[in-house]
Structure 1
C-alpha cells in the first residue's frame, strides 16, 4: 500500500478544521516564526517543527497540526504521536486555508 507509512496519523481537510474552530481545540502551527507572523489561524500556537520535541501540552485532547503544505505538520504529528499525543494532521496546510487569518498584510 502506497500510504502505509501514514496510516496511523489521522488527517482532516482545512474545511473540516474550519468547522472545528467553534470548539475548544488546540492547533499547533509548526511553520517557522516568520511564516506564522505572515498569517495564521487565530487559535493556532506557533511551535516550529524544530522545537516540537519540547512541546508540553495535554495528551488527552486532540491536537491539530498545520504548516504551509502539510508535510512539516505530518512530520510533527509523527513525533508527537510517539510522545503519546492524540494528533490530527491538517492536509494541504495554510496554502489550502480559506478561513480568517491573523497577521500578515
Structure 2
C-alpha cells in the first residue's frame, strides 16, 4: 500500500474502491439502485462516490432508454487499467512508478 500511495495514482475511499470492485466484477451493468442495495447505503451516497469515479474516468453513466428512471454504470478502459495496476501493487509486482518491479516479474 505504501508503494501505491507513493505512485501518485488517485486515492480512492474505501466506499469508492468497493464500488469499483462491484462494478468491474459483475459483467452486467450496475445501477445506482443496485449498488446502494449491495452496499446498504442510500442512493445519494452512491451518487457522490460515482461523481468522483466519473471525474477520474473510471466509470460512466448511461440512462436506460427503456426506463429513464434507471441509470446504468458502465466500465471504462481507464477504470480497468486502474484496477489492474492496483492489483499489481497489492501483489507486489509493481513499483512506485506503476511499472513491473524486479521482485514481481514473472519468468516464463
- Could you say which TM-score interval applies, normalised by the shorter chain? 0.3 to 0.5
Q: Please state which structure has a larger fraction of its residues in strand.
A: 1
Q: Please state which structure has a larger fraction of its residues in helix.
A: 2
- Higher relative contact order structure (alpha carbons within 8 Å, sequence separation ≥ 6): 1
Larger-Rg structure = 2
Q: TM-score normalised to the size of structure 1? A: 0.32
